[in-house]
Amino acid sequence: MSDTLSDVKVSQQHATKPPPIALGINMEKPKFPQYAVYSKRLESFESWPEYLPVQMKDMVEAGLVYTGVGDSVRCYFCGGGLRNWESGDVPMEEHGKWYPKCPHILLVKGQAYIERLTRGEKPETDGGDGISSLKDSVDSVNHIETVAAQSCIQMGFSEDLVAKAITIFISKHGNTDFKGKDLCEILFDIEENPVDQELSICDENTISECFGNDNQTPDEVEQLEPLETLLEENHRLKENQMCKICLDSRADVIFLPCGHMVSCPQCAPALIKCPVCRQTVNGQLKAFFSVINTKEN
């Protein structure tokens, strides 16, 4: 009797085990592998009518291939078709809305993106690595008027400083779900380590604007040398994270079972073997990077 109960428990565990795609692991192969390469999909749009309101580049990034008929397109991975494009349509969103289980969308955007679409929410536009897009999103939504921001202002912090704290929070966490406590921690860090916080929102192109370079004494120049070293190291680390195929986007796709991460979501589906170890790729998993706050709550 005990053996029977044991077998039942084991069978129940296997029955409730989620499929790989539910865990974010893609083990499917593209229906049209010849268009798994970004450049091949782009070539299919050579005859794309110019009067149509959607850009070819957006179509290609969404994994879509032009069929050559009207404005009909088809996904190279799931095979799903879309047409009747209107002004304001976002190909990635439309693709994810109509085909939420498409491995291309899950690999490029992740499950959270699909869930936001399902709830009828407008997914946030990717900001890339640049801080300018993050500042634009802060200004457009006017987060300075939130309760959390206003509570910090009431504590005596200036609006400019609170706005900077909001920008730093978004750059670290990739969202705007901040609370007053989160902003206060950043504000205290800014007061204690202003240079470190400025560095976190500067890059190689804006360093002169952040710290200035006019009328500097030799001592001041010497003090900036470690900062330049940090920027060089930051640039090197960014290069190491770039896709080894297109050398343009971040490599954030993990190949299974080898575990190497050398490709971006746009290039990964075209690879049958891992470029590093030459092992056959049986599955792909999107990795998400985040900056962990080491302070205890």
Q: What is the pLDDT of residues 155-192, one digit of tens each?
A: 778 888 888 888 888 777 777 777 888 888 888 777 76
Q: What's the pLDDT band for 145 if we cut at 50, 70, 90?
A: confident
- Percentages helix, strand, coil for the chain, rounded to the nearest 5? 50, 10, 45
Model pLDDT, residue 100 = 92
Model pLDDT, residue 141 = 44
Model pLDDT, residue 125 = 46
Q: Stretch 218-243: mean pLDDT, rounded? A: 65
Is residue 164 within 8 Å of 190, Cβ to Cβ?
Answer: yes
Model pLDDT, residue 134 = 41
50 vs 169, more confident: 50
Sheet architecture: strand order including 81-82:
64-66, 73-75, 81-82
User: How far, in Å, CA of 203 to CA of 119, rounded?
Assistant: 36
| Domains, in order of start, for the chain | 18-118 (1.10.1170.10), 131-240 (no CATH)
β pairing state of 73-75 and 283-286: unpaired
pLDDT at 78 over 90: yes
Q: Stretch 250-265: mean pLDDT, rounded? A: 90
7 vs 232, more confident: 232
Model pLDDT, residue 288 = 77
Instruction: Give residue-wise pLDDT tens across range 267-293.
Output: 999 999 998 899 999 889 888 776 444
| DSSP 8-state secondary structure symbol assigned to residue 224 | H
Tell me the average pLDDT of the chain. 76
Model pLDDT, residue 75 = 97
Q: Stretch 214-222: mean pLDDT, rounded? A: 52
> Helix, strand or coil for residue 285?
strand
Model pLDDT, residue 183 = 81
Q: What's the pLDDT band for 26 if we cut at 50, 70, 90?
A: confident
Q: Stretch 105-109: mean pLDDT, rounded? A: 90
Model pLDDT, residue 82 = 96
Long-range contacts of 203-206 (CB under 8 A, 24+ apart): 203/129, 203/130, 203/131, 203/231, 203/234, 204/231, 204/235, 206/131
Model pLDDT, residue 139 = 44
Model pLDDT, residue 165 = 83
Q: What's the pLDDT band for 31 if we cut at 50, 70, 90?
A: very high
Model pLDDT, residue 132 = 43
Q: What's the pLDDT band for 242 if we cut at 50, 70, 90?
A: confident
What's the pTM value of the predicted model, to 2 decimals? 0.55
Best CA proximity match to 227, nearest among 203, 251, 252, 263: 203
Tokens 């291939």 correspond to what residue? 65
Model pLDDT, residue 193 = 66
User: How far, in Å, CA of 89 to CA of 258, rounded?
Assistant: 38
Is residue 66 within 8 Å of 59, Cβ to Cβ?
Answer: yes
